[in-house]
Structure 1
């Protein structure tokens, strides 16, 4: 007879079952008192050299060892701000701990990791899933009502999402029940190397209106990962993982007494995608590193985008500093180029010493001007790379760099530091500490513009394992930097958002969401950003220019308002009216900080499409905020606010207030807002909806 127990909160609990002849499996998802039975899958899936899969496949799931595991114990405990469950299983000379955590501030989300220990013989790991569970009812045909949410990215085109039925080309009806086996295939997405969000995104989900259930997840890792959705005869499952042998050249040998712990992942539940994403937003806030910036959110001016573009000088910066202070910026970041004397800085970076030719009076003169204007000085830095012509390339030992077969890896004229090595850490600590001490830097933009590939074979059991340990050393380095400088604000950037994962964003204050320089293409990037990160971390460029019309400048500024307000542009070349518009946007952004830092995102116009003429991003809170962009097309659109249906709603324009207001009409019966723009094809507004 199967044993069962449930663990979690009243918002989300998991019902587990196991027996003498079955491993521990999730048999049900309990939400707000309703039990959703699900296709039971082993919670631990492990492939080793000695134990493969049954049947043979390319899945994370259905491993032979996962089926052999048997319940040994379970332990429940509390930690500051949450609770923890450890389920221990054992089989064939290994012990496996499945560790689940639920935070008080995120009762509808659960975070997981798995630890494998070798007991009495060596074990060669080829894949260890972080978490596996079924999501459909345990019955044939239950798969048919489900949809998937997934996203892809590219440089300049980050966060392009789709919601699609599962049943179709990827999951045809195979009649596999006639074979008495489950299907072999699955639908998987992977990332390798160090650009964790270069193409596929580590966030995804499934949803069924018929089941009134949605799950969304995120893999919390700054390197290689994989997630998959599969269909068995009796239902569907999802499995989440870090690097694997097949996808990322990862293997790990464990001798008796050795242990390996997977990368973490989180799963959140709701009635639909937006409800589940709200629960995941709660988890992201609860699991972040505490920092004053999490709620302070000072406005940043950065000199790069469509402005100095990596060519700063004293002459160019001083007028920008004055103008940025005048419009209310609180941080001024000098972006790329401040260290360059050669005019060709890409292959020479690594020392991070201030240029003498760009700043005749010294960089200190410029930094003092920033501070004297009442702003915190910031600098751009790309810490993990050393140019092939940098003096540091000769000073650091070969072992301080990622390698293959004894040769340093070169990517786009850069070597890549291996942060497992103390010389690499010592170099970076010296750079950061020196810049903080010498110039009073309070803000860094940490950029990252190369991907060295699957990893390193130097002092590593496998190429992928070398990369995994480097990834973990990188996170430990960031933690140590913030421990030494607890007030330091660090922006995460990676050629825009090519490393936009929660391993990084649980530590760093904000994320550059794109390098997109065409302001009309930014709205779908900005609107989709809260699918991947917290709204208050989304640094969407607001870069108005003197040559823009007032509607175009307002369009740019609206793009930044429901995130971390991040300004650029030639402010010093603007006339008084133009600067006043920017200053008004900064003023409004400061009033919205509390709402952005506590709101839950929703998409009243649907998940944004890359070429949609209308795009909208909403934040639910004490009031509803919504930014709406028009890029041609029809003059009006309808936005859905189902949570406000049946109520009277007052609509107010938040920004811009000096341009003609758009016409709006609220339908309380359907919970829809009709918005009609003015004459401009390129225009945007931020609105507030207040229910009465």
Structure 2
């Protein structure tokens, strides 16, 4: 039995629910369904709760039996826990909640709402028409169906429970069953209702929001703040009317094709009094939104979805017979806080990634860009790097940008054609690829396949190949954007990849993306956002086709580092570049934060020793990368023996445990570290999902203190045996307290790091 489970609570008639079955009264077509997600923890044993109104629970995952009696009877349950949103106290208050929030052009946006997107129409008047449950292979789908008689819309709200994880994947489909076009302005993929009900203190005194700020060089910067710090307050203490609510919403939005330019597409909302955290992830490689707002009844809702008209320039004219499906989002709930939510998301993400040998074997990659050749490769420069990378233990060797332009030209001016420059590579690029293979490594190349330089020969292609607005091609950073909705574009990029695989035998593509489309393209689209969304979907479909044609090709997703980090792409790409950050001292902040958003077996982290005489710098760099995917770079051919041996040793140690990383989850004994906290210590680890051990990285940054104690919060209170596994020497002075799960580490010099194995239990 899963420890934690998600359920759907639907205001209807009382009903008994059996394991894997649903017994319910079918609502009449003129009745509006009021449905809301709740969370349970099946690990607790509470015998009963009192329900004051009838309710229906649709059993979506897990096991158990619940019987709901009449208005005055009790909910009797076996080994169940309470609902974090306190169902017994909240059902009546949720009668106005919307399970599907939809707003169309020409409709009344009901009630006093400001810039909040909730309470749209026809969302408020949708009539429930039925529910269907389907099972295919290991997946289940529950679909709630609605109609709107005025606009002749059919709406299907889909729930896909994830076995063993308190997560549900959500989408909403809208079908125009009428004879007139209907303009869609906003539809959330998921709405969570009822947050903030059920504890003594007001929600603005006990709720914390976890927001992952992220940008170039500064990815994964989580901030835990009170809602009132974002101008979100309950207004009830300040008014003398019985019902009042705030018009503010905490809204986070991302517009354009860099899906994580300012924020990662996820967040969490923690209720410290109920020990409950809601979390969500938006799985889209373009524009998205989420908002937290207060309802008329005084509780909170979270609306989560893709683009809309107000914030992202998206508007869809739904023609008769046409349908539209929202971007998928994953929502979940757990007892505990940030770390527990990250664990569940980590488990969930492993259920949606495309199976590939790379994510099982986790080969070590050398890339010649960062603190190394800086997009200026030549045969002469590459040869010593090839030899050094092979001696260090790398298994892939990737030539980054610049291989396609003459020496002295700016590399970005040559994107689009992807022909190797013979001046850079006397004897041809193919001979250099042969040298890489002879050294025992698989060659790879950098591409920016979705764009073309304004100087490239693609300038003569028709405008339909490119993003356009107002009849003109969009130019950004010297690039045009290829439109993957056009089958001629897809055929062209397919030919490029096939040629590179055929002529050079590459087994790895680093696909970069160094600019953003902003609002999108209005060519052959109802709005710029509509064109962008359909292009986004066409691009991930292209990746699916790429894997079918070249199943062993490794695809790395990069967007000036981590500016396009989302699980529309990462459910298909094998690796994700974590950052363009070139200062290794910043990475103890960035890596743990980003690992809350990306699987460790997918996150490519730079290790780039620069100082050829400092072995401790090499160790620090290696520790940065050893809990994810090692992306080796730097001028490793120039490292002195001791520093180089530390690199080689780190890779050798990594290979002893890397097979376990796909079965490990992040742990945060010291929380997350802001980039500005430079004069401190930090620790981060990966704990095994089913075995009693973990890997723990400890960094002494610029702290003046030579010793630091880190709580081993992930051992379950059990005393642990701690062993330094990298480097073998010099060892840190460590003390594992037998009376308390904590570790004291002493490192004599600042800017040093060590990697430990922590084992507990039998």
TM bracket, shorter-chain basis: over 0.9
Report the equivalent of 2:74: none
Contact 2:721 2:736 in 1 (8 A): no
Report the equivalent of 2:752: 683
Q: Aligned partners of 2:241 and 2:355: how far apart in 1?
A: 54
Q: Aligned partners of 1:511 and 1:125: how far apart in 2?
A: 34
The offset of 1:548, in angstroms, is 4.8
Report the equivalent of 2:581: 516
Q: Aligned partners of 2:442 and 2:716: how far apart in 1?
A: 45
The offset of 1:520, in angstroms, is 0.8
Report the equivalent of 1:553: 618
Contact 1:540 1:564 in 2 (8 A): yes
Q: Aligned partners of 2:361 and 2:498: how far apart in 1?
A: 24
Q: Which structure 1 residue ranges, 4+ long, deviate > 4 Å from structure 2?
A: 18-21, 139-142
> Which whole-Å deviations, capped at 9, do the CAs of 1:290-336 have from their partners, x for residues lacking one?
11111111100001110111010000101111111111110000111
Report the equivalent of 1:188: 251
Report the equivalent of 1:119: 177
The offset of 1:147, in angstroms, is 0.8
**Is residue 166 of structure 2 the alignment partner of residue 108 of structure 1?**
yes
Partner SS state of residue 620, structure 1:
strand
Higher Cα radius of gyration: 2
Report the equivalent of 1:640: 711
Q: Aligned partners of 2:732 and 2:709: how far apart in 1?
A: 17
Report the equivalent of 2:190: 131
Q: Aligned partners of 1:274 and 1:421: how far apart in 2?
A: 43
Report the equivalent of 1:4: none
1:305 to 358, 370, 389: 370
Q: Aligned partners of 1:410 and 1:311: how far apart in 2?
A: 25
Report the equivalent of 2:302: 238
> Which whole-Å deviations, capped at 9, do the CAs of 1:100-142 have from their partners, x for residues lacking one?
11233x5211110100111224211001100001252535855
Report the equivalent of 1:628: 698
Report the equivalent of 1:418: 483
Unaligned segments of structure 2, at least 5 residues: 13-26, 43-79
The offset of 1:681, in angstroms, is 0.7
The offset of 1:398, in angstroms, is 1.1
Q: Aligned partners of 2:487 and 2:316: how far apart in 1?
A: 23
> Would the alpha carbon gap of residues 82 and 177 (structure 1) be closer, same or farther in structure 2, given more than 3 Å must change?
farther
> Would the alpha carbon gap of residues 125 and 161 (structure 1) be closer, same or farther in structure 2, given more than 3 Å must change?
same
> Would the alpha carbon gap of residues 79 and 675 (structure 1) be closer, same or farther in structure 2, given more than 3 Å must change?
farther
The offset of 1:87, in angstroms, is 0.8
The offset of 1:148, in angstroms, is 0.7
- Residues 248-397 of structure 1: matches in 2 within 5 Å? 248-272=312-336, 273-341=338-406, 343-394=409-460, 396-397=461-462
> Would the alpha carbon gap of residues 122 and 381 (structure 1) be closer, same or farther in structure 2, given more than 3 Å must change?
same
Partner SS state of residue 336, structure 1:
coil
Contact 1:135 1:238 in 2 (8 A): no
Q: Aligned partners of 1:388 and 1:668: how far apart in 2?
A: 66
Q: Aligned partners of 2:723 and 2:655: how far apart in 1?
A: 18
Q: Aligned partners of 1:638 and 1:264: how far apart in 2?
A: 42
1:492 to 557, 560, 563: 557
The offset of 1:595, in angstroms, is 2.5
> Which whole-Å deviations, capped at 9, do the CAs of 1:546-572 have from their partners, x for residues lacking one?
435111110011000000111112121
Q: Aligned partners of 1:44 and 1:406: how far apart in 2?
A: 36
Partner SS state of residue 690, structure 1:
strand
Report the equivalent of 2:282: 219
The offset of 1:492, in angstroms, is 0.7
The range that moved more, 232-241 or 311-320, is: 232-241
**Is residue 685 of structure 2 the alignment partner of residue 618 of structure 1?**
yes
Contact 1:142 1:235 in 2 (8 A): no
- Residues 54-73 of structure 1: matches in 2 within 5 Å? 54-55=110-111, 56-73=113-130
Q: Aligned partners of 2:502 and 2:568: how far apart in 1?
A: 28
> Which whole-Å deviations, capped at 9, do the CAs of 1:644-690 have from their partners, x for residues lacking one?
24422100012111223232333543x3323222x211011111110
Report the equivalent of 1:204: 267
2:5 to 4, 11, 20: 11
Report the equivalent of 1:96: 155
RMSD of equivalent CA atoms = 1.8
Contact 2:233 2:246 in 1 (8 A): no
Report the equivalent of 2:667: 602
Q: Aligned partners of 1:240 and 1:296: how far apart in 2?
A: 35
Contact 1:24 1:71 in 2 (8 A): no
The offset of 1:17, in angstroms, is 2.3
> Would the alpha carbon gap of residues 371 and 212 (structure 1) be closer, same or farther in structure 2, given more than 3 Å must change?
same
Contact 2:414 2:456 in 1 (8 A): yes
> Would the alpha carbon gap of residues 73 and 252 (structure 1) be closer, same or farther in structure 2, given more than 3 Å must change?
same
Report the equivalent of 2:82: 35
The offset of 1:207, in angstroms, is 1.1
> Would the alpha carbon gap of residues 662 and 625 (structure 1) be closer, same or farther in structure 2, given more than 3 Å must change?
same
Partner SS state of residue 110, structure 1:
strand
Number of aligned residues: 681
**Is residue 109 of structure 2 the alignment partner of residue 45 of structure 1?**
no
> Would the alpha carbon gap of residues 548 and 498 (structure 1) be closer, same or farther in structure 2, given more than 3 Å must change?
farther
Partner SS state of residue 284, structure 2:
coil
Partner SS state of residue 681, structure 1:
coil
Partner SS state of residue 71, structure 1:
strand
The offset of 1:68, in angstroms, is 0.9
The offset of 1:397, in angstroms, is 1.4
The offset of 1:180, in angstroms, is 3.4
> Would the alpha carbon gap of residues 643 and 302 (structure 1) be closer, same or farther in structure 2, given more than 3 Å must change?
closer
Contact 1:125 1:251 in 2 (8 A): yes
Report the equivalent of 2:215: 154
Q: Aligned partners of 1:664 and 1:54: how far apart in 2?
A: 62
Q: Aligned partners of 1:667 and 1:468: how far apart in 2?
A: 56
State the TM-score, normalizing by the size of structure 1.
0.95
Contact 1:221 1:263 in 2 (8 A): yes
Partner SS state of residue 737, structure 2:
strand
Contact 1:523 1:629 in 2 (8 A): yes
Contact 2:366 2:394 in 1 (8 A): yes
> Would the alpha carbon gap of residues 86 and 574 (structure 1) be closer, same or farther in structure 2, given more than 3 Å must change?
same
Q: Aligned partners of 1:77 and 1:30: how far apart in 2?
A: 23
> Would the alpha carbon gap of residues 582 and 75 (structure 1) be closer, same or farther in structure 2, given more than 3 Å must change?
same
> Would the alpha carbon gap of residues 411 and 177 (structure 1) be closer, same or farther in structure 2, given more than 3 Å must change?
farther
Partner SS state of residue 565, structure 1:
strand
Contact 1:15 1:29 in 2 (8 A): no
> Which whole-Å deviations, capped at 9, do the CAs of 1:374-419 have from their partners, x for residues lacking one?
111100000011001011222x211100001221110011111011
Contact 1:268 1:277 in 2 (8 A): no
The offset of 1:284, in angstroms, is 0.4
The offset of 1:643, in angstroms, is 3.9
**Is residue 547 of structure 2 the alignment partner of residue 476 of structure 1?**
no
Q: Aligned partners of 2:305 and 2:738: how far apart in 1?
A: 45
